[in-house]
Amino acid sequence: MVSQPENLLPAMQNFVSAGQTLAQNFFAFLAKQPGMTPPPAGTLPPLKLPSPEEMQALHQEYLKQHAALWAAMLAKRQGQEPGFAVQPEPGDRRFNAPEWSETPMFDYIRQAYLLNSSFLRQVVEAVPEEDDKAKNRLRFMARQYIDALSPANFAATNPEFIKQAVESKGQSITAGIQNLIADMEKGRISMTDESVFEVGKNIATSAGQVIFENELMQLIQYEPLTPKVAKRPLLIVPPCINKFYILDLQPENSLVRYAVEQGNTVFLVSWRNPKADLEKYTWEDYLEKAAITAIEVVRSVCKVDQINALGFCVGGTILSSALAVLAARGEDPVASLTLLTTLLDFSDTGEIGLLIDDNFLALKESQIGQGGLLSAKELSSTFSALRANDLVWNYVANNYLKGKKPDAFDLLYWNCDSTNLPGPFACWYMRNLYQNNSLRIPGKLEMCGVRVDLGRVAMPSYILAAREDHIVPWQTAYQSTRLLGGPSRFVLGASGHIAGVVNPAAKNKRSFWSGSDQKLDADSWLAAATEHKGSWWSDWSAWLQQFAGGEVAARSKLGNARYKPLEAAPGRYVKEKAV
């Protein structure tokens, strides 16, 4: 038996060749991706590659590590300490099962894959690309490629699949095929047991009435839960990219219910799921017919000059833009503004921004810019790709290889309940905000017939970002404190884009940071900030009380003579499925 690493060198030549092929295949794959390398005059320009000297050095190190891995495998087989092991990155749970290390063959497959992954990342880092966005795009695409090639994704190289198949006498294979066929008919991967949930029955159950609707949205007013309420009501504008009930999943984690319990009269915009009849709707339609209209209805129902308003994610961008329009018209209908994980400055948009460039936008504008839909399927696939191991390949392995049914989880049910977007709206949003970052520049954008300036949005604001947010980087959300004209309180929550927001006060989990000098840059602000254990909800509620405008008796009837209840919450718009 060969036991010395130097005697393995002839065999290792195969792995050098494999490394070369891996890099070549990746760059061939990359050249075919839309928006990565726009083809002038119908031809693809040559991709930049590392120098021959760098590639040779990388291959030599690759050879050396594979030799060490083979030697470690031989030592382990002889009962000796291996002395060398390739470890997954922190948080990588794909190879946690003992089957991956109990059998020498699968132990080797696992470690060789990790070694190949590391090599490809090094190749990408060696690419002589000076543009940061282009380099980050390469890193993103490399991760997609690496994740897709994981041995955990294939029956022949996944020991968990084999064990499950043997123990179940093939039943897991049958179940996996049935799961695959069902998902193919559905057109997407199942992430949860969707039969458990029903909107309005066991999620989105906060009591209320739809008191207004138009072709774009319904406005819900929720029933009070306290004998007295703040004089100024609270209007919530959720993102139109998803359904609103992320803020009203279950009573114990519902921000809507919490706000009502704190003595607020709460109204909420429920967006229509666009079909062909809305395919020509624009960004301005969403401002004028939804956000601005909702503000006026809420003021009318509660008979107040000013309300409090909250926007979440894209809903926050829409709400802030609407307030900038109203400010340009000389109107001041909002006393306080809350923004949750919202972008106003789009200088760093995380990995989503890597997928949007002039070439991609030109394609989309030609397809749907004047009419059409950006489909829910495309949106969902894009967001899933940002966390492919968690939201794609995890379910491929569990549903199809192991034949398991996903567990029931309300948040994942919401995640799968996707929405379309009107093409003109989506193209304007991506072009003017994501690509050109024009909202931050006073007077550059015209909306609803006026030039807008966020500096004229001068009410006090509460700005929440989430520290691990991969959709709205917290440092970018922090820039909103410099753009809005009024005094702001910036708070940084723990966790990500959703869990950082849906963090119930009653459970008192995680933590948040607040309180340092907002004249500092983002990282310096965090270094000086104070950490508080528990949820930011209580902090926000205390802040919001300053703008209550006094107290009044809670209304026994919802709506008013002009805006009468039309149907019970959550209304029919939120139940419409994307097609």
**Catalytically active residues, by annotation:** 313
Token pair 């409090």 is found at 308
The three-state secondary structure class of 329 is: coil
Helix (H) or strand (E) holding 491: strand 488-493
CA angle, residues 238, 242, 246, in degrees to nearest 5? 65
494 alpha carbon, distance to own chain's centre: 15
CA angle, residues 149, 153, 157, in degrees to nearest 5? 90
CA distance 116 to 22: 8
DSSP string, 201-251: TTBS---EEEEEE-SSEEEEEEPPSSSEEESS-EEEE--SSS-GGGGSSSG
Q: Which residues, 6 or more positions from 53, have their beta carbon under 8 angstroms from its beta carbon?
A: none
In the numeric block, which tokens belong to residue 148?
């897709």
Cβ pair 69, 104 in contact under 8 A: no
Cβ pair 221, 554 in contact under 8 A: no
CA distance 113 to 558: 60
Cβ pair 268, 302 in contact under 8 A: no
The three-state secondary structure class of 16 is: helix
CA distance 382 to 407: 23
CA distance 246 to 409: 12
Cβ pair 534, 542 in contact under 8 A: no
Cβ pair 148, 393 in contact under 8 A: yes
CA distance 174 to 164: 12
Cβ pair 394, 387 in contact under 8 A: no
Cβ pair 472, 497 in contact under 8 A: yes
Cβ pair 532, 552 in contact under 8 A: no
Per residue, what are the HEC states of 66-134? HHHHHHHHHHHHCCCCCCCCCCCCCCCCCCCCCHHHHCHHHHHHHHHHHHHHHHHHHHHHHCCCCCHHH
In the numeric block, which tokens belong to residue 513?
């940071």
CA distance 262 to 542: 9
